[in-house]
Amino acid sequence: MKTLYTINTVNNFTDLIYRPFGVPFCEENPDLVMYNIMDDSLLKDTLKYEGMTPVIAGRMLNYAKAAEASGADGVLVTCTSVNQATALIKPLLTIPIINIEEPVAEQAVENGKRIGILATLPSSPKAIGRVIEQKAQQNGKQVELVVKVAEGAFDVLCAGDRPKHDEMVLAALAELAKEVDVIAFAQISMSLLPHGDVGVPIYKIGRSGYEKIYSLMSEK
């Protein structure tokens, strides 16, 4: 058996992340046991201080170390906005840890040069943008990032109005699709959005992150 811990930063992660992505992945991989850590103050403080701080990163390290001490074979961080902390934590663990958007960044770089980033939080584009630029640099590729934020949509979703959230994100998606080669969704909270063909590939955060950490755990 393999044990995966996830670190989540929204209090409705069960509906947004665990049930739609985590549960099906565990059902498909019966050798996997998953436990979830949730601290919504991590995201609130990251937004408050407009980025990562040593205190926030230290708290995330404590969670990751606790998971490791509890027998975790890997850790998956499901919040894009705190990915700087994940990068700092990696060399301090003996088990793999990744941020869930890393495979999306890889796909976007592989398939586009003018890459659209769609978000509902102002902190997310900068966070996933760093990862996209890192992946592009590793591949010797020049990319241009075009950011679109559906302002207020995340608060609407947290208030329980998914139809309004989806309406706001769809409007932003249609505008962004006219300007880019590919689109990367910056948050897993957007990944359940129903939409038609917008004319360019869309890469969504979710299953690919579980697949990557599971693969790393299997190699360990």
Instruction: Decide if pLDDT at 195 tops 80.
Output: yes
Average pLDDT over residues 126-154: 95
Are 93 and 173 within one domain?
A: no
Whether 168 and 89 share a structural domain: no
CATH code for the domain in which residue 49 is found: 3.40.50.1860
Same domain, 106 and 51: no
pLDDT score for 219: 86
In DSSP notation, 75-141 reads EEE--GGGHHHHHHHGGG-SS-EEETTHHHHHHHHHH-SEEEEEESSTTHHHHHHHHHHHHHHHTT-
Percent of the chain with pLDDT over 70: 100
| Residue 140: predicted pLDDT | 95
Q: What is the pLDDT of residue 151?
A: 93
The domain containing residue 47 runs over which residues? 2-100+207-219
Q: Are residues 143 and 69 in the same domain?
A: no
Query: Comparing C-alpha atoms, which of 25, 30, 28, 33 is closest to residue 2?
Result: 33
- The reply to whether 74 and 158 lie within a common domain is no
Q: Say if residue 123 is in the same domain as residue 165.
A: yes
Q: What is the pLDDT of residues 92-108, one digit of tens each?
A: 999 999 999 999 999 99
Domain count, the chain: 2
Predicted TM-score (pTM) above 0.85: yes
Residues 61, 135 within the same domain: no
The pLDDT, as a whole number, for residue 163 is 94
Closest by CA position to 108, among listed 171, 185, 169, 177:
185
